[in-house]
Amino acid sequence: MLANRKLILAHFWLAFAVFGVALTLGAWQMFIRSPIGTWLSNPELYYRSLTAHGTVMGYVFPTLVAMGFGYAISESALEQRLVGVRWAWAGFWLIVIGSIMAVVPIAMGRASVLYTFYPPLIGNVFYYLGVVLVVVGSWIWVALMSINLRVWRKAHPGAPVPLAMFANVAGSYLWAWTAVGAALELLLQIIPVAAGLKATIDAGLARVFFSWTLHAIVYFWLMPTYIAYYTIVPRAIGGRVYSDSMARISFILFLVVAMPIGMHHTFADPQVGAGFKFIHSAFTALVALPTLLTVFTICASVEIAARLRGGRGMFGWIRALPWDNPMMLALAFSFVMLGFGGAGGLINMSYQLDASIHNTQWITGHFHLIFGGAIVIMYFAIAYDLWPHLTGRELIELRLIRTQLWLWFIGMIVTTFPWHWVGILGMPRRMAYFDFSDPAIAPQALSVTFSAIGGFIVLASGILFLVILARGMRAPEAAAGPYRFALAVHQPATVPVALNTHALWVALMIGLTITNYGYPILTLALTEGTSVPAVYVGAQ
Amino acid sequence: MSAEEIHPDSAEVAARIERRWATIAVIIIVGMALLAAFAGIHRATMPQPRVETTDPSRLHLSGEFVESNLGSVLEANGNVTVRAIGQQYSFTPACILVPADTPITLRATSADVVHGILIQGTNVNTMLVPGYISEQLMRFTRTGDYLMPCQEFCSFGHEGMWGKVKVIDKTEFAGRAKGGGRLSCVGQ
């Protein structure tokens, strides 16, 4: 049984509580800007809600899930009590304080700048300081993951690091480095202006800094999901991981190539030249590689499970899978959404196709399908799988769990498919309302209505999820035994150093970031006269 | 595992299948990157090559984006240049007038915060970042009215920031351009 159950439960409960709040705000936003809602008399309320939704869903919720899951992995995969528990609690409380510090100015309408900041718009300084505290809290987790692995290595010289921990530490390093972009933007540019020390800011440079964070953060959100694919799903459905080394290669590829590709977010920006846009576009194609490898390995691992259960034939084995097992269901839904979302991502990656949908509702639909769909549904699965080990009680309402997963899947599809469609029609993002009486906008009304209905299905599923977890705290006690991860078909006795350590890959990640970001950042920083007056939000 | 006893070479078979898939995946990736490069060069859909800067606090005083220079102008070579600015919460000119079947260069910037120009039903789509000039080449094949919303959050009035593009016949545009000056369809 896990030793630090309280610590892990605290992370998960806080994560899912703020998730519930942000989900409710999201559903309200879908409703209020749809034809079934009435026009908002004060559009500013919409942007408060949008800022809170993005800040919680982007920074607080996935970070807490990754941290709680990371501590659980460290204890169970390494079979070693967590080193630095006090520091872990310090990180947790920093996130609590940071979140409150950020949310208060948002609620007061003093920081309606959205979670992507958008300077020269400048909000209340405490909003940014709150976000910084959240990130600093998570950096404590990064350090702890590294330290725990080091302690384990000393006790087990030369032994293969368990896959779950290898991936977990890779994810933590990715986060540490990708957060640096936004940290530089906040510390060097935004906070001095928000604190009144400066009155001008280079908006173009800020956008480049933010793009450094904005793409790889998605892979940080993705890490717990991929760890679950490789190390939980095969065990939960009675199979084996097809290949341990391919799994390690996939996580290494994420670590190395998730970072130097962020400028595809600035394809339409005037402050970046065409050359670097092309380089980043090509690197973005590269990041599809670990996902393609993962799809193969996981499908093969699932097939192994099916054949061990007596599945036969080219495709007949699919029927032999344990479809009543929530983990199987979650994986299938996650893969379907990953497939559609990934295809959309390949479209966004090319400058030529991106021009048609840049900053339209297509993009919002895209990342909700990938993050809200493929990634978050596996967060649910992780929580369900870990819960008995954290509470010492069994989750018995499997039917309810399956209903919750089905609702989330259906809701996400109903929400995001029409969302993509109106994006193709050219509907812009981040608008508090649309004039559906305009004949040019009227054709989008039906799609937006469907999206809003999908939003409510998703909300219902989210509430059900919280209810299931809460009831799980009061279920009959049952010893869950030690928490185990999936084994590979050919469990490695030794692993090459390159696939067992991170140093080389971290160096490559930093090196590629410098080659792909160094020159654009330096030239922008050295260009004179690009700082523009700040525009304060909520100022009278 | 018992499978290993039955098939002693199973690890090798598994690795071979895996390598094959990895090769296919790499071919797909390289193919996509080449396709993007080809489309960019062959169809000439490339981002603006140069980074140009401008001072947003002096836009109204002198230079390319003074008010009298905003709008569409027919150049000597028959091409059209459109100059526009975005500010909280409108575009100037609010209605852009252009001819059909003509190469058009859109040059635009922002006077305050980050905005974006998106012309619905086309792939004309660019950010307006204060301090920098955005340039985009475009060509309309169909006459008519197009909506042109701001596509980037620019604070509380963002949802009300909609401009228009009116595409008219080439000869009609040439007739209107005879008088000189800068054309727009504001108030029409």
Write the CB contacts of B55 (distance below 8 Å, at least 6 apart in sequence). A529, A532, B131
Would you call A490 a catalytic residue per the annotation? Answer: no
Q: Decide if A533 touches B, using CB distance below 8 A.
A: yes
Asked whether the predicted pLDDT for residue A40 surpasses 80, the reply is no
Q: Which of A127, A209, A219, A436 is catalytic?
A: A219
Residues of chain B positioned with their CB less than 8 A from the CB of A114:
153
Confidence of residue A479 (pLDDT cuts 50, 70, 90): confident
At residue A42 the predicted structure's pLDDT band, cuts being 50, 70 and 90, is confident
Q: The tokens of A32 are what?
A: 């209020």
Give which of A418, A468, A427, A474 is closest to A446, Cα–Cα: A418
* CA-wise closest residue to A428 among B108, B48, B166, B147: B147
Calculate how close chain B gets to A94, using CA atoms only, in Å. Answer: 29
Q: pLDDT tens for residues B52-99?
A: 999 998 998 989 999 999 999 999 999 999 999 999 999 999 999 999
Are A118 and B135 in contact (CB < 8 Å)? no
Closest CA of chain B from A83, distance in Å: 34
pLDDT surpasses 60 at A509: yes
Residue B6 has pLDDT above 70, yes or no: no
Give φ, ψ of B87 to 5 degrees. Answer: -145, 165
**Is residue A351 predicted with pLDDT exceeding 90?**
no
- Residues A413 and A368: their CA atoms lie apart, in Å, by 10
* Nearest residue, CB atoms, A426 vs list B47, B53, B120: B120
A184 touches chain B (CB under 8 A): no
Contact yes or no for A351 and B46 at CB 8 A: yes
Catalytic hit among A429, A433, A471, A536: A429
Nearest to A356 among B3, B123, B134 (CB): B123
pLDDT at B41 over 50: yes
Closest by alpha carbon to B36, among A341, A260, A280? A280
- pLDDT surpasses 70 at A346: yes
Whole-angstrom distance, CA of residue A523 vs CA of residue B116: 23
Q: pLDDT-derived band of residue A539, with 50, 70 and 90 as boundaries?
A: low
Q: What is the pLDDT of residues A142-172, one digit of tens each?
A: 999 999 999 999 999 999 999 999 999 999 9
- Cβ contact B153–A429 (<8 Å): yes
3-state secondary structure at position A129: helix
DSSP B4: H
Q: What is the pLDDT of residues B14-23, one digit of tens each?
A: 889 999 999 9
Question: Is A426 in contact with B127 (Cβ distance < 8 A)?
Answer: no
B22: chain A residues, CB-CB within 8 Å: 246, 293
Report the 10 Å Cβ neighbour count for B57: 13
Percent of chain A beyond pLDDT 90? 89
| Residues A442-471 pLDDT 10s | 999 999 999 999 999 999 999 999 999 999
- Band of residue A207 on the pLDDT scale cut at 50, 70, 90: very high
pLDDT band at residue B138 using 50, 70 and 90 as cut-offs: very high
Q: Could you tell me if A351 lies within 8 Å of chain B, comparing CB atoms?
A: yes
B40 touches chain A (CB under 8 A): yes
Residue B44: predicted pLDDT: 67
| Active-site option among A235, A280, A368, A389 | A368
Percent of chain B past pLDDT 70, that is, above it, reads: 95
Q: What six digits make up the tokens of A77?
A: 């995969």
For chain B, the average pLDDT equals: 91
Per-residue pLDDT at B1 exceeds 70:
no
Q: Which of residues 90-119 of B touch A (CB under 8 A)?
A: 109, 112-114, 116, 118-119
Q: Which residues contact A510 (CB under 8 A, 6 or more apart)?
A: A177
> What are the pLDDT digits (tens) for A84-111?
999 999 999 999 999 999 999 999 999 9
DSSP A326-357: HHHHHHHHHHHHHHHHHHHHHHHHSHHHHHHH
How far is A1 from A12, CA to CA, in rounded Å? 17
d(Cα B85, Cα B112) in Å, to the nearest integer? 10
Residue B100 distance to chain A (closest CA, Å): 20
Average per-residue pLDDT in chain A?
94
The half-sphere exposure of B93 on its side-chain side, counting CA atoms within 13 A, is: 23
* A241 closest CA partner among A304, A291, A292: A304
For position A26, what pLDDT does the model report? 97
User: Cα(A17)–Cα(A117) distance, rounded to whole angstroms?
Assistant: 24
The three-class DSSP label of residue B136 is strand
Spot the catalytic one: A48, A110, A265, A366: A366
Q: Is there a contact between A203 and B113 if contact means CB atoms under 8 Å apart?
A: yes
CB contact under 8 A, A346 and B120: no
Complex ipTM > 0.95: no
Residue A1 confidence (pLDDT) above 50: yes
pLDDT at A329 over 50: yes
Mean pLDDT, range A200-226, rounded to an integer: 95
- Mark yes or no for CB contact B88/A535 under 8 Å: yes
DSSP notation for A191-212: HHHHTTS-SEE-HHHHHHHHHH
- B chain contacts of residue A428, beta-carbon cutoff 8 Å: 116, 118, 149-151
Who among B48, B119, B158 is closest to A270 (CB)? Answer: B48
Closest CA to B98 of B113, B75, B82, B114: B82
Q: Which of A263, A256, A280, A75 is nearest to A177 (CA)?
A: A256
> Does B8 have pLDDT greater than 80?
no
For residue A267, indicate whether it is catalytic: no
Q: Which residues of B touch A434 (CB under 8 A)?
A: 159
Q: Give the gap in angstroms from C-alpha B183 to the nearest C-alpha of chain A.
A: 24
Our answer to whether residue A371 is catalytic in this structure is no
Judged on CB neighbours under 10 Å (0-12, 13-18, 19+), A429 is buried
A48, A53, A215, A393: the active-site residue: A215
pLDDT above 80: residue B42: no
Find all residues with CB under 8 Å of A317, minimum gap 6, and list them: A303, A306, A307, A311
Distance from CA of A339 to the nearest CA of B (A): 15
Question: Kind and range of the H or E element at A428?
Answer: none
Nearest to A102 by CA among A77, A81, A123, A73: A123
Give me the DSSP letters along A342-407: HHHHHHHHSHHHHHHHTTBHHHHHHHIIIIIIIIHHHHHHHHHHHHHHHHSB----HHHHHHHHHH
How far, in Å, CA of A213 to CA of A209, rounded? Answer: 7
Task: Nearest chain B residue to A423 by CA: give it.
Answer: B120
CA distance A297 to A224: 17
Query: Which of B55, B126, B134 shows the shortest C-beta gap to A529?
Result: B55
Q: Read off the pLDDT of residues B163-184 as tens digits, 9 standing for 90 and up.
A: 999 999 999 999 999 988 899 9
pLDDT at A538: 77
Look at the block and give the residue holding tokens 């989210």: A462
pLDDT > 80? residue A10? yes
